[in-house]
């Protein structure tokens, strides 16, 4: 569809398009090529489908991504609700706080969590001091650690799309509902929630897409049971040195991400059409 | 006792300030049951503040608000049982017309059958039968506001407040809906408080108009009183068009204006000899005629002047007439075809009835 906004966009879009073609599509083509034994067989896919390690990593990936998205949604929605109620100036200031962790490398943040959550980390030391007994809660190298690390990273990605849809709600709707006698809970359930649904959906899908591909967090904060597909790719590439299997796992992950990424893009497009 | 029964809403010394800025100076107002009261004034006059205080949009800084004799000063909006129609409709965009109108009924826990009956009834009343499944976006502005009105009348609130409800509509539709709202008010008999900055709308619809300016009430009265008996310069200028003349009271009790004319004023009560007063004369109350034509003859003319401006605006023609001393009077008369129309430079006679002179007794 050519609109006045898209006409003549070629020169502006071309540099970025060419760059992403080179750094993304070409490697992906190589991975596809490797995963099919240079295009001769689907043996690597057969191998991983029979591998219990792959099955476990696949299940872990889906389960972890699911819960990380849900927890991020709940936490992010609450933050967005709070931000939407502030004055524009206060909101701008608080937004910096939401973005602050975003400006820190995920590697640095993950190491920071090992200090906070570790056996002799800040939390356990504090609890030991408080109770006078040796406390060593298992907060790290397990699913809990992975969830903490991932939701910490993903929550801001929920806050922004949800906040945008909350701010788009006409404040007069709240006044009208109040005058008609509605209590705050009913107002939330009948107005706030349904009208912020597009933001929620966009946020959750993009968070899910990111969560599926997590690598550093499960590697640093997870245990042996928290191997995700990205870690499995790493395992086959560097430990087993079987690049065909590694590529097959990579292609599978790519397909999995596609399942979420495609509806996310579609939603964004319909939203844009409604807004225009 | 009878007084209380007839009063729908009463404001006692209510004021509202934001920080050190007064949005509403101490105001008392009593609205009768079943009355159509319009709050009229320019933006920033305090009319929206007054509306918000009654609906519970924000708390009053001082004073008390009584609804049917019950103190609602500090009651949350949902407990006041008031209905409100908004300028931008404030319809739930994700709900159909039916669900929008059913909203206040569902809040009140009505049964499914009752809701269907009442909503169908309300839709019929505003002429939207058959539109129940449309979303607000699929309705025109006028239809959306009809849904807004239906959503309000459906739960029979004690008073219905309308905040510039026709402000977003074009002129023809606005006039049509003014009449519809008037009829609706007559049919349901609920107290209406209507906010507008459009004087014609206020004159057309109201039982009483509460004219506001600078965060206070300027004049409260029937449309006739406001138009024919304005008490101040602001009231005279805000409603309708006016000529303002200043003069002082002479020994005969007449008003001697700067032009040298002595004007008989209809009501001498309270006029102090030697003091300056302002008087108002509506442009359409001045009769003009060429010498020797019609009812204005040199003998009966109140004044003589020269036409300095003519604007033909349809049914009426506005003339600017300069009196010998330079005073400009605006005159409105029925339009005549171009060949008979008054021309710039023409000398004409003017006449008006002393009854049409209104002494403005109040300072703004």
Instruction: Let me know: does B142 contact B89? Beta carbons within 8 Å.
Output: no
Per-residue pLDDT, averaged over A160-188, amounts to 96
Measured between alpha carbons, how far is A156 from A172 in angstroms, rounded to an integer?
28
Measured between alpha carbons, how far is B258 from B328 in angstroms, rounded to an integer?
12
Task: Give yes or no for residue B348 having a pLDDT over 50.
Answer: yes
Measured between alpha carbons, how far is A214 from A206 in angstroms, rounded to an integer?
13
Confirm or reject contact between B136 and chain A (CB < 8 A): no
Confirm or reject contact between B88 and chain A (CB < 8 A): yes
Residue A135 DSSP label: -
Q: Residue A37 — very low, low, confident or very high, per pLDDT cuts 50/70/90?
A: confident
Q: What is the pLDDT of residue A153?
A: 93
Task: Give yes or no for residue B240 having a pLDDT over 70.
Answer: yes
Cβ-based neighbours of A224, under 8 Å, separated by 6 or more: none
Phi, psi of A213 (to 5 degrees): -95, 10
Q: How many CB atoms lie within 10 A of CB A252?
A: 21
Task: Select from B84, B68, B59, B64 the least CA-distant residue to B11.
Answer: B64
The proportion of chain A whose per-residue pLDDT surpasses 90, expressed as a percent, equals 71
Tell whether B103 is covered by a domain: yes
Instruction: Let me know: does A33 contact A237? Beta carbons within 8 Å.
Output: no
Cβ-based neighbours of B156, under 8 Å, separated by 6 or more: B188, B190
Lowest mean pLDDT among A15-29, A153-167, B61-75: A15-29
Per-residue pLDDT, averaged over B297-320, amounts to 83
Q: Residue B252 — very low, low, confident or very high, per pLDDT cuts 50/70/90?
A: confident
Task: Give yes or no for residue A275 having a pLDDT over 50.
Answer: no
Q: How many CB atoms lie within 10 A of CB A8?
A: 9
Interface test with A, best of B53, B56, B103 (most A CBs within 10 A): B103
The two three-digit tokens of residue B69, written as one number: 């004799």
Measured between alpha carbons, how far is B49 from B24 in angstroms, rounded to an integer?
7
Q: Do B78 and A191 touch (CB under 8 A)?
A: no
Q: Do B108 and A179 touch (CB under 8 A)?
A: no
Cβ-based neighbours of B321, under 8 Å, separated by 6 or more: B288, B305, B306, B307, B308, B328, B329, B330, B331, B348, B350
Cβ-based neighbours of B91, under 8 Å, separated by 6 or more: B100, B136, B144, B147, B148, B151
Tell whether B305 is covered by a domain: no
Q: Do B78 and A170 touch (CB under 8 A)?
A: no
Tell whether B341 is covered by a domain: no
Q: What is the pLDDT of residue B1?
A: 44
Confirm or reject contact between B82 and chain A (CB < 8 A): yes
End-to-end CA distance of chain A: 14
What tens digit of pLDDT does each residue of B5-53 get? 688 999 999 999 998 889 999 999 999 999 999 999 999 899 999 999 9
Measured between alpha carbons, how far is B358 from B265 in angstroms, rounded to an integer?
8
Per-residue pLDDT, averaged over B174-196, amounts to 95
Tell whether B53 is covered by a domain: yes
The two three-digit tokens of residue A203, written as one number: 């946020």
Cβ-based neighbours of A28, under 8 Å, separated by 6 or more: A254
* Domains present along chain A, CATH in parentheses: 42-275 (1.10.3720.10)
Phi, psi of B287 (to 5 degrees): -95, 140
Confirm or reject contact between B118 and chain A (CB < 8 A): no
Instruction: Let me know: does A101 contact A114? Beta carbons within 8 Å.
Output: no
Strand order, beta sheet including B70-71: B21-32, B7-18, B62-67, B70-71
Confirm or reject contact between B80 and chain A (CB < 8 A): yes
The proportion of chain A whose per-residue pLDDT surpasses 70, expressed as a percent, equals 94
Tell whether B147 is covered by a domain: yes
Measured between alpha carbons, how far is B141 from B143 in angstroms, rounded to an integer?
5
Measured between alpha carbons, how far is B55 from B50 in angstroms, rounded to an integer?
9
Task: Give yes or no for residue B221 having a pLDDT over 60.
Answer: yes
The two three-digit tokens of residue A182, written as one number: 């509605």
Helix spans in B19-96 (H): 47-55
Q: Do B92 and A191 touch (CB under 8 A)?
A: yes
Q: Residue A115 — very low, low, confident or very high, per pLDDT cuts 50/70/90?
A: very high
Q: What is the pLDDT of residue A276?
A: 35
CATH number for the domain spanning B112: value is: 3.40.50.300
Q: What is the pLDDT of residue B324?
A: 83
Domain hosting residue B119, numbered range: 2-234
Residue B314 DSSP label: S
Confirm or reject contact between B55 and chain A (CB < 8 A): yes
Element (H, E) at A221: helix A216-221
Instruction: Let me know: does B104 contact B82? Beta carbons within 8 Å.
Output: no
Q: Do B107 and A186 touch (CB under 8 A)?
A: yes
Domain tally, chain B: 1
Distance from CA of A176 to the nearest CA of B (A): 7
Tell whether B317 is covered by a domain: no
Measured between alpha carbons, how far is B257 from B176 in angstroms, rounded to an integer?
43
Instruction: Let me know: does B234 contact B218? Beta carbons within 8 Å.
Output: yes
Residue of A nearest to B159 (CA): A179
Residues belonging to chain A: 276
Q: What is the pLDDT of residue A145?
A: 95
Q: Do B151 and A177 touch (CB under 8 A)?
A: no
Q: Do A178 and B155 touch (CB under 8 A)?
A: no
Q: What is the ipTM, given to two decimal places? A: 0.84
Per-residue pLDDT, averaged over B265-282, amounts to 80
Per-residue pLDDT, averaged over B324-338, amounts to 88
Tell whether B99 is covered by a domain: yes
Measured between alpha carbons, how far is B145 from B134 in angstroms, rounded to an integer?
13
Tell whether B57 is covered by a domain: yes
Residues belonging to chain B: 364
Task: Give yes or no for residue A265 having a pLDDT over 80.
Answer: no
Using a CB-CB cut-off of 8 Å, the residues of chain B touching A170 are 88, 90
Q: Do B86 and A172 touch (CB under 8 A)?
A: yes
Using a CB-CB cut-off of 8 Å, the residues of chain B touching A271 are none
Q: What is the CA radius of gyration of chain A?
A: 23
Task: Give yes or no for residue B2 having a pLDDT over 70.
Answer: no
**What is the pLDDT of chain B when averaged over all its residues?**
90
Task: Give yes or no for residue A204 having a pLDDT over 90.
Answer: yes
Q: Residue A11 — very low, low, confident or very high, per pLDDT cuts 50/70/90?
A: confident
Lowest mean pLDDT among A70-84, A90-104, B292-306: B292-306
Task: Give yes or no for residue A65 having a pLDDT over 70.
Answer: yes
Helix spans in A85-215 (H): 88-99, 106-117, 122-131, 143-167, 171-179, 184-187, 193-212
Instruction: Let me know: does A54 contact A48? Beta carbons within 8 Å.
Output: yes
């Amino acid at each position: 569809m050519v609109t006045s906004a898209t006409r003549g966009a070629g020169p502006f879009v071309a540099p970025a398009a060419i760059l992403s073609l080179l750094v993304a599509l070409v490697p992906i083509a190589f991975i596809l090529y490797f995963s099919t034994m240079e295009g001769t067989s689907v043996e690597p896919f057969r191998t991983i489908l029979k591998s219990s390690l792959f099955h476990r990593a696949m299940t872990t990936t889906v389960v972890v991504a699911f819960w990380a998205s849900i927890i991020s949604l709940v936490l992010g929605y609450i933050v967005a609700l709070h931000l939407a109620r502030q004055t524009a100036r206060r909101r701008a200031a608080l937004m910096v706080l939401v973005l602050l962790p975003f400006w820190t490398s995920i590697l640095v943040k993950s190491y920071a969590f090992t200090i906070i959550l570790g056996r002799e980390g800040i939390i356990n030391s504090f609890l030991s001091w408080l109770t006078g007994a040796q406390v060593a809660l298992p907060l790290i190298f397990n699913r809990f650690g992975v969830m903490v690390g991932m939701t910490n990273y993903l929550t801001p990605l929920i806050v922004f799309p949800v906040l945008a849809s909350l701010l788009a709600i006409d404040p007069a709707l709240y006044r009208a509902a109040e005058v008609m006698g509605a209590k705050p809970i009913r107002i939330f359930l009948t107005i706030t929630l349904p009208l912020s649904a597009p933001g929620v959906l966009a946020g959750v899908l993009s968070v899910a897409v990111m969560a599926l591909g997590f690598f550093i967090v499960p590697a640093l904060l997870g245990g042996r049971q928290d191997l995700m597909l990205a870690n499995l790719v790493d395992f086959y590439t560097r430990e087993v040195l079987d690049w065909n299997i590694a590529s097959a796992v990579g292609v599978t992950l790519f397909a999995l991400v596609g399942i979420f990424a495609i509806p996310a893009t579609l939603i964004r497009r319909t939203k844009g059409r409604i807004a225009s | 006792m009878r007084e209380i029964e007839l009063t729908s809403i009463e404001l006692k010394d209510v004021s509202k300030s934001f920080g050190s800025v007064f949005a509403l100076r101490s105001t008392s107002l009593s609205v009768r049951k079943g009355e159509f009261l319009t709050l009229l004034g320019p933006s920033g006059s305090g009319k929206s503040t007054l509306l918000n205080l009654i609906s519970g949009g924000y708390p009053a800084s001082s004073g008390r608000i009584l609804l049917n004799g019950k103190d609602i000063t500090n009651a949350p909006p949902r407990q006041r049982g008031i209905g409100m129609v908004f300028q931008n409709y404030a319809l739930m965009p994700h709900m159909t017309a039916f669900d929008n109108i059913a909203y206040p009924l569902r809040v009140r826990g009505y049964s499914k059958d009752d809701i269907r009956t009442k909503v169908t009834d309300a839709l019929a009343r505003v002429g939207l039968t058959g539109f129940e499944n449309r979303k607000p976006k699929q309705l025109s502005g006028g239809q959306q506001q009809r849904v807004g009105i239906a959503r309000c009348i459906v739960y029979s609130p004690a008073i219905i407040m309308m905040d510039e409800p026709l402000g977003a509509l074009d002129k023809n539709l606005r006039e049509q809906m003014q009449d519809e709202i008037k009829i609706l008010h007559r049919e349901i008999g609920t107290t209406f408080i209507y906010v507008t900055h459009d004087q014609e709308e206020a004159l057309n619809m109201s039982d009483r108009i509460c004219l506001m300016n600078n965060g206070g009430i300027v004049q409260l009265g029937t449309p006739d009183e406001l138009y024919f008996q304005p008490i101040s310069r602001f009231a005279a200028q805000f409603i309708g068009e006016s000529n303002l003349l200043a003069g002082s009271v002479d020994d005969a009790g007449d008003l001697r204006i700067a032009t040298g004319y002595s004007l008989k004023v209809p009501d001498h009560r309270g006029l102090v000899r030697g003091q300056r007063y302002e008087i108002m004369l509506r442009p359409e109350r001045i009769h003009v005629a060429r010498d020797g034509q019609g009812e204005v003859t040199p003998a009966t003319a109140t004044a003589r002047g020269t036409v300095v401006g003519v604007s033909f605006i349809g049914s009426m023609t506005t003339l600017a007439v300069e009196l010998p001393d330079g005073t400009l009077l605006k005159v409105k008369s029925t339009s005549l075809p171009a060949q008979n129309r008054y021309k710039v430079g023409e000398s004409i006679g003017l006449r008006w009835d002393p009854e049409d002179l209104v002494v403005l007794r109040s300072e703004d």
